Structure 1
Amino acid sequence: MQHEYQQLNMEERVKIQYGLWQKKSLRTIAKELGRSPATLSRELRRNKGFDALKRRHYHPLKAQELAKGRIIGRGRRLRLKSPFVRQYAHAKLREGWSPEQIAGRLSLDYPIYRVSHEAIYQYIYSQYHREGYGTCIGIDLRAWLRRRHKVRHRKKVPYAVEKGHICNRISIDQRPAEVESRKIAGHWEGDSMVSRKSQIRLNTLVERTSGLALISKLSDGKSESTKRVVVRRLKRIPRSLRRSITWDNGFENARHEEMAKALGTICYFAHPYHSWERGTNENTNGLIRWYLPKGTDFAKIPNRVVKFIEHQLNTRPRKRLNWKTPSEVFNSIVLR
């Protein structure tokens, strides 16, 4: 009669570890447990982990976890087989990367690892059903997927701001066609993000060719504050990369002529309620909202957090940049 195989339990795994510490042979440990030497040999081969020095060793808790994950996933395909790829995906999901960005950048940085973004999506959802597949129990990776609304509503500002007519605006209709093509760097788009709970705003500037984002806190919605911050940020950029800025029609941009003179550039204005004419900037604002959802009080967000978000966006690979990052592309332009 064939003996029905039973999985090793936690108590047995502890005894295996203790026996190994005592320098006992596998045959001796197997005899003490009433198991075959082949069972213990298979256990060590399949369920060894790594210590802090990256050395292979046997630990009962890790072995139990690996075995449990294998049982849960039995009969199901593991979407990301490489532990390195899984760890890479976990880290980048936490940084707000999409599966498509992860797959694209992975193949760029580590050509030997190639996975599709669909495989990453399937891993995320199958990981939830199989309880993390052993190594991620208790973590639902779906929470790290970006969720964005495609419809944007007109901004409602509960605080008093400057109102009036913006003099001497230059329409986007007069903007050179080269700006739309993105082939020539140095053309920027600008906007202000509003907080419903305070007067503090975020000024965002995005370079169209590279997608490089500059994010700054504004003390209020006044045009003087916007002018001061924009000049300070763009003054650090080479003049050859300050060709133009395209704004919306918010009165915070009323000092556009002073900005243009200080920066040696020209300011254009999109048509009212045509946010798609500044699509690069609108998309970036949507990415910022992943970190700072609507309803966030910007007054409670320290500058170091704003700088962190700026860094995250500028070091995130983009499909249209062939999976390079905005910082990489912009720096390569500066060094030409």
Structure 2
Amino acid sequence: TINDEVKRGTAVQKKLVNGKSFTWEAYYAETGQLVYEKHREACKPRYKLLKVERFIQYAKHKIQVEKWSPDIIVGRAIELGIYEPHERVCAKTLYRYIDEGLMSLNNMDLWLKLQRNTKPKRDRERKRILGQSIDVRPQEIINDRLTFGHWEIDTVVGKKNKDEPVVLTLTERQTRYQIIIKMSGKNEAAVKETIERLSKNNPNYPKLFKSITADNGSEFAGLSEALKGLSDVYFAHPYSSWERGTNEKHNGILRRFIPKGKSLKDYSNDQIKQFTHWMNHLPRKVLNYQTPTEAILTHFNQIQMT
């Protein structure tokens, strides 16, 4: 109120006249501002940093070594119950500690925080769909992620050269489980050979791969034929990568290890397997901080029992 503001800026003045002391009160705006700033400084919450030192060290390790985000770190800790509420901080506080330089980390250590969409929109020429359109994909079964076994597929290129190897990525829509396979090139024959190798001598393949959704890249021209009688194949609309958003998101995560312009000849199959293992053991908020491996094991066990 006005009365409180006046009181805050009121100061006692003292003056000596002919050996006698006189005092009086007067309002000064500068005094009121100084008192206000002092009170605001005092009402700030005290740092919890020293009380949660063990959790901070845990978080630093997860960010630097395992490349987890603060949200995953906090969510996974809550899910597993490895820290009591008074022993940890929330994700927002972790981000603040990093921004304020209290954790010996910076934004360069936070992969997703650096990502920005800087590509301008462009008009695209019409392009035909290679097969059955995504428009006929069952809404209640696949689009709503109510059942297991529906995948999205794409290729990830390192160095743009027709003689360069690429990796084929498949992402299961419900569990976010990822399969990553290195191929000899980005062409129809390489994709067909890889898919046939994946399905060969696997009696449970139709239960594990009920459908696959691809883009209209020429390398997927023979996908419907390769999976005829095994899986339903759908194709997204041309230049509509958001229709395979799950796979595109995971390809972005894979770019942490395989940046654009880096030749895939420099990566061994064992390294590709390590990348796959890391992605499938990364807890996800959308899975209530379970890992894709944990989420898919339930379905594997059910399939083996039937």
Common fold, TM-score beyond 0.5?
yes
2:99 matches 1:99: no
Partner of 2:223: 256
The gaps in structure 1 that reach 5 residues or longer are 1-74, 133-138, 155-163
Secondary structure (helix, strand or coil) at the match of 1:335 reads: helix
Partner of 2:250: 284
2:56 matches 1:86: yes
CA drift of 1:153 comes to 7.8
Distance 1:99 1:195 in 2: 28
CA drift of 1:234 comes to 5.0
Distance 2:195 2:298 in 1: 23
Distance 1:323 1:253 in 2: 33
2:165 matches 1:196: no
Distance 2:137 2:223 in 1: 15
Look at both structures and tell me which one has the larger radius of gyration over its CA atoms.
2
Secondary structure (helix, strand or coil) at the match of 1:261 reads: coil
Cα root mean square deviation, aligned: 2.5
- Among 249, 257, 266, the residue aligned to 1:300: 266
Aligned-partner residue type, residue 55 of structure 2: V
Secondary structure (helix, strand or coil) at the match of 2:274 reads: helix
CA drift of 1:301 comes to 1.4
Corresponding pairs, count: 242
Partner of 1:332: 298
- Among 275, 279, 297, the residue aligned to 1:309: 275
Distance 1:151 1:193 in 2: 20
- Among 191, 204, 209, the residue aligned to 2:174: 209
- Among 180, 187, 192, the residue aligned to 2:143: 180
Distance 2:91 2:218 in 1: 42
CA drift of 1:294 comes to 1.8
2:93 matches 1:119: yes
Give me the TM-score of the superposition, normalised by structure 2. 0.72
Give me the TM-score of the superposition, normalised by structure 1. 0.66
Partner of 1:9: none
CA drift of 1:200 comes to 1.4
What do residues 206-265 of structure 1 show as CA deviations (whole Å, max 9, x unaligned)? 000000001111111111111222333355564312110000000101111332137x11
Pair 1:247–1:309, CA change in 2 (3 A): same
Please give the residue correspondences for 1:122-137 in structure 2 after superposition, counting only pairs within 5 Å: 122-126=96-100, 128=101, 130=102, 132=103
Distance 2:199 2:278 in 1: 20
2:198 matches 1:229: no
Partner of 1:46: none
Distance 2:77 2:190 in 1: 41
Aligned residues of 1:79 and 1:119 also touching (Cα < 8 A): no
Query: Which region of structure 1 is more displaced relative to structure 2, 231-240 or 181-190?
Result: 231-240
CA drift of 1:166 comes to 7.2
Pair 1:166–1:77, CA change in 2 (3 A): closer
Where is the strand percentage greater, Structure 1 or Structure 2? 2
Distance 1:111 1:148 in 2: 30
The gaps in structure 2 that reach 5 residues or longer are 1-44, 122-126
What do residues 141-197 of structure 1 show as CA deviations (whole Å, max 9, x unaligned)? 43320132335689xxxxxxxxx9876x10111111111100101000000112235
Q: What fraction of aligned residue pairs are identical, expressed as a percent?
A: 36
